[in-house]
């Protein structure tokens, strides 16, 4: 690099020429000081020489010149020493200045680097500010447009407000007119309300006095037994007759009663004609009437509420009512037999109702002879008559499920199993219509059971068992043998697909009529298979003294004990066991391997429709 170009230190580009110039200037200063010192010495010598030689020219001149020369040499030596010292001091100052200048140079480099960094950041910030200003400028333009629109809108609102104020003033004027008219109208309304109150009181009095109580038992319609829809109980209500459908229940108040409540008077238990009923509007109830809140279930029957079959047939429809469409509850139960009040509920049906969370204590209507009106009444006059089999199965499935839940029964047949087994039960009645020789029956049945693998035989004395014990045994019975009687109602607790073998004494086939087949129908409703009948023909003949009196003859035959034909009973029981086991075996097989792939197997449903 030429001498005319400045030297550069590091990457900062800061020149290093200033310290070199400073050193050169310092040397020049020292040289100048030396020259000045020499000039001063020369001047001093010249002055003294002139003074000396100008005034004296004696012999001592040479001596004096020599001595002065020596003195001058000493002065020059002293001056040189002083110059050397000053030079050394100047060099030290110069070195210090150079160090200081280098430090300042480093700081200058650092400041220059920082200044460049700041410059770059400033440029970035300036760029961001420029972008932001551009955005703000756009936003300002948009805002300006919006403000313009807003101003226009405000102008429109101002015009609308002015129009509205004008309309409001008009409305206020009309309101004053309306208030005057309203005041007059309120006066008229008040007058009308007073008149209406008086009219309501008058109508209520007339309605109350016009409530007509009729005999609860209408003998003119009793013989119909509901065949044509007419009925001797609440005879003003016309039913559906013998047509099929859900359990026939009448809701009161409803359209059936033209919105009126059912009211009853009397609690006679031996003559239903002394009890009476009427329909009354809530605003015109009979004088001194008692209103029972909530829902009251009311049933009338030709039979009774103690016998399991009769009570089941005439009350089980309320399980359907509870289930459909949602699980409902009732506050009380009111029972009539031929319109006569009944206050007892049989042990069996009471437990069924308790399991279904239905009322179990019949109402006694003890209100000192005052009329009793029901806020809501559900009336049944024909039990489960006319109900199709599909609905029957739903009802009995719920009864079976709730009874098992109440009794904590498990172990019933809920699906196919690899273990083929059959549980056979002989149900024994106590008293009338038993078995001629129970031991013989037990031996024959037990013998057939032993011949089948997995067969278990049990004898059940139904009168000695609690309700829950009956439910448990029936839930674990696949084949039931028993004589005709109300104890067969327990079959509703058996699992679908189970078998029923029913026995009769002589005379039933000839004199009993359709009633002898009720348990065959029940088996079908429950989903069981009724395997037919054994009729003991060895019962003694009807006494000749009865003649052709079929009623007397049937009374003679009705409760006779049932004997057996060992061969027939053995073959019959064996065939039923074989058939039941065969069906179980088929149920285990894959559908493609079954003899009849379309055969439908029925199993228990362990989930009740209504909770506890």
The pLDDT value recorded for residue 62 is 54
Contacts of 458 (CB under 8 A, 6+ apart): 423, 424, 425, 426, 473, 477
Tens digit of each residue's pLDDT (9 = 90 or more) over 130-155: 887 787 777 778 878 877 888 888 78
**What percentage of the chain exceeds 70 in pLDDT?**
82
Q: What is the DSSP string of 534-591?
A: EE-TTSPPPPGGGTT-HHHHHHHHHTPPB---HHHHHHHHHHHHHHHHHHHHHHHS-G
Residue 368 pLDDT exceeds 90: yes
Please indicate whether residue 572 or residue 37 has the higher confidence score (pLDDT).
572
pLDDT of amino acid 59? 46
Give 202 or 606, the one with higher predicted confidence: 606
The CATH class, in words, for 411-593 is alpha beta
CA dist 586 and 593 (Å) reads 8
The structure tokens listed for 168 are 């409001």
- Please give the average per-residue pLDDT across 49-71, as a whole number: 55
Residue 484 clears pLDDT 50, i.e. is over it: yes
Determine contact, residues 498/530, Cβ cutoff 8 Å: no
Residues 580, 448 contacting (CB under 8 angstroms) = no
Residue predicted with more confidence, 207 or 408 = 408
- The residue ranking higher by pLDDT, 200 or 10, is 200
Q: Looking at residue 574, what is its pLDDT? A: 95
SS3 label, residue 364 = coil
Per-residue tokens: 596: 């009849």
Is the pLDDT confidence value at 405 over 70? yes
Query: In this model, does residue 2 exceed pLDDT 50?
Result: no
- Pick the more confident residue, 548 or 245: 245
Among the residue ranges 173-187, 338-352, 354-368, 574-588, the one predicted with the least confidence is 173-187
Q: How far apart are CA 224 and CA 235, in angstroms?
A: 11
Q: What is the pLDDT of residue 13?
A: 44
Q: Tokens standing for 312?
A: 């089941």
Q: pTM for the full model?
A: 0.67
User: Does the pLDDT of residue 515 top 80, yes or no?
Assistant: yes
Q: In the prediction, which pLDDT does 225 show?
A: 54
Quick: pLDDT tens for 338-366: 999 999 999 999 999 999 999 999 999 99
What is the CB-side half-sphere exposure of residue 492 using CA atoms within 13 A?
29
Q: Which of 222-226, 301-305, 331-335, 526-530 has the lowest mean pLDDT?
A: 222-226
Q: Which of 44-58, 121-135, 254-268, 423-437 has the lowest mean pLDDT?
A: 44-58
pLDDT for 420:
60
557-566, 569-578, 584-593: least confidently modelled range: 584-593
214-269 pLDDT, tens digit each? 999 988 776 555 556 778 899 999 999 888 999 999 999 999 999 999 999 999 99
Query: How buried is 317 (Cβ within 10 angstroms: 0-12 exposed, 13-18 middle, 19+ buried)?
Result: buried
Across 378-406, average pLDDT: 94
CB atoms within 10 A of CB 242: 13
Q: Considering only 255-264, 307-316, 586-595, which range has the smallest mean pLDDT?
A: 586-595
Tell me what pLDDT residue 20 has: 54
- What was the pLDDT predicted at 359? 97
Rounded to an integer, what distance in angstroms lies between the CA atom of residue 76 and that of residue 91?
Answer: 22
Q: Which two tokens stand for residue 276?
A: 């009476």
* pLDDT value at residue 539: 84
Q: Quick one: which of 35, 37, 45 has its CA closest to 65?
A: 45
What per-residue confidence (pLDDT) applies to 410?
85
Where along the chain do its domains lie? Answer: 18-53+61-206, 214-387, 411-593
Task: Tell how strand 479-483 and strand 499-504 pair up.
Answer: parallel
Alpha helix segments (H runs only) across 5-60: 17-55
pLDDT at 462: 94
Residue of 341, 332, 349 lying closest to 383 (CA atoms)? 349
Average of per-residue pLDDT values in the chain: 84
Of 251-265, 411-425, 456-470, the least confident? 411-425
Question: Are the C-beta atoms of 537 and 506 separated by less than 8 Å?
Answer: yes
Does 43 score more than 80 pLDDT? no
Which are the contacts of 82, defined by CB distance < 8 A and separation ≥ 6?
Answer: 37
- Which tops the pLDDT comparison, 419 or 23? 419
- Tell me what the mean pLDDT of segment 548-569 comes to: 92
Q: What is the pLDDT of residue 604?
A: 79
What is the arithmetic mean of pLDDT over 108-129? Answer: 83
| Res. 331: pLDDT tops 60 | yes
Question: According to the model, what pLDDT value does residue 105 have?
Answer: 82
- Residue 425 is predicted with a pLDDT of 97
pLDDT surpassing 60 at residue 205: no
The mean per-residue pLDDT over the stretch 482-505 comes to: 96
């Amino acid at each position: 690099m030429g001498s005319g170009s400045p030297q550069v230190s590091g990457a900062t580009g800061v020149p290093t020429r200033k310290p070199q110039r400073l050193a050169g200037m310092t040397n020049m200063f020292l040289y100048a000081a030396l020259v000045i010192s020499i000039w001063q010495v020369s001047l001093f010598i010249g002055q003294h020489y002139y003074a000396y030689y100008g005034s004296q020219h004696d012999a001592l001149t040479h001596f004096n010149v020599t001595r002065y020369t020596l003195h001058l040499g000493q002065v020059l030596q002293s001056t040189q020493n002083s110059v050397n010292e000053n030079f050394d001091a100047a060099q030290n100052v110069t070195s210090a200045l150079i160090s200081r200048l280098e430090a300042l140079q480093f700081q200058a480099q650092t400041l220059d680097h920082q200044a460049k960094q700041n410059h770059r950041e400033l440029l970035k910030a300036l760029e961001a500010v420029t972008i932001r200003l551009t955005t703000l400028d756009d936003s300002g333009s948009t805002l300006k447009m919006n403000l313009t629109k807003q101003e226009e809108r405000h102008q429109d609102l101002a015009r609308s407000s002015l129009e509205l104020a004008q309309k409001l003033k008009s409305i206020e004027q009309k309101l004053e007119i309306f208030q005057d008219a309203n005041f007059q109208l309120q006066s008229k309304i008040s007058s009308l309300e007073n008149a209406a109150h008086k009219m309501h009181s008058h109508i209520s009095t007339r309605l109350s006095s016009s409530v007509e109580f009729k005999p609860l038992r209408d003998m003119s319609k009793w013989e119909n037994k509901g065949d044509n829809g007419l009925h001797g109980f609440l005879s003003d209500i016309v039913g559906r007759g013998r047509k099929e459908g859900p359990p026939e229940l009448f809701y009161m108040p409803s359209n059936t009663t033209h919105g009126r409540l059912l009211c009853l008077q009397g609690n006679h238990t031996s003559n239903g004609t002394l009890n009476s009923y009427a329909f009354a509007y809530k605003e015109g109830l009979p004088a001194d009437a008692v209103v029972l809140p909530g829902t009251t279930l009311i049933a009338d029957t030709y039979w009774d509420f103690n016998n399991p079959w009769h009570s089941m047939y005439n009350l089980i429809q309320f399980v359907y009512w509870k289930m459909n469409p949602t699980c409902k509850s009732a506050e009380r139960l009111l029972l009539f037999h031929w319109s006569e009040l009944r206050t007892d509920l049989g042990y069996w049906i009471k437990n069924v109702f308790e399991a279904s969370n239905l009322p179990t204590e019949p109402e006694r209507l003890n209100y000192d002879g005052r009329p009793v009106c029901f806020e809501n009444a559900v009336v049944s006059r024909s039990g489960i008559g006319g109900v199709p089999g599909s609905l029957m199965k739903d009802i009995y499935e719920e009864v079976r499920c709730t009874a098992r839940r109440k009794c904590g029964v498990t172990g019933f047949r809920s699906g196919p199993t690899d273990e083929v087994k059959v549980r056979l039960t002989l149900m024994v009645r106590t008293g009338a219509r038993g078995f001629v020789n129970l031991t013989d029956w037990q031996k024959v049945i037990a013998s057939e059971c032993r011949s089948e693998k997995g067969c278990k035989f049990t004898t059940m004395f139904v009168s000695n068992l609690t309700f829950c014990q009956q439910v448990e045994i029936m839930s674990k019975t696949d084949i039931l043998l028993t004589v005709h009687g109300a104890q067969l109602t327990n079959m509703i607790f058996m699992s679908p697909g189970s078998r029923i073998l029913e026995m009769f004494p002589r005379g039933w086939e000839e004199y009993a009529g359709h009633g002898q087949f009720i348990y065959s129908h029940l088996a079908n409703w429950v989903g069981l298979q009724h395997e037919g009948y054994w009729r003991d023909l060895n019962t003694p003949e009807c006494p000749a003294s009865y003649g052709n009196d079929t009623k007397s003859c049937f009374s003679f035959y009705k409760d006779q004990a049932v004997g057996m034909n060992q061969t027939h009973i053995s073959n019959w029981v064996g065939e039923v066991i074989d058939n039941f086991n065969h069906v179980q075996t088929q149920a285990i097989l894959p559908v493609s391997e079954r003899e009849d792939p379309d055969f439908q197997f029925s199993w228990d449903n362990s989930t009740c429709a209504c909770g506890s």
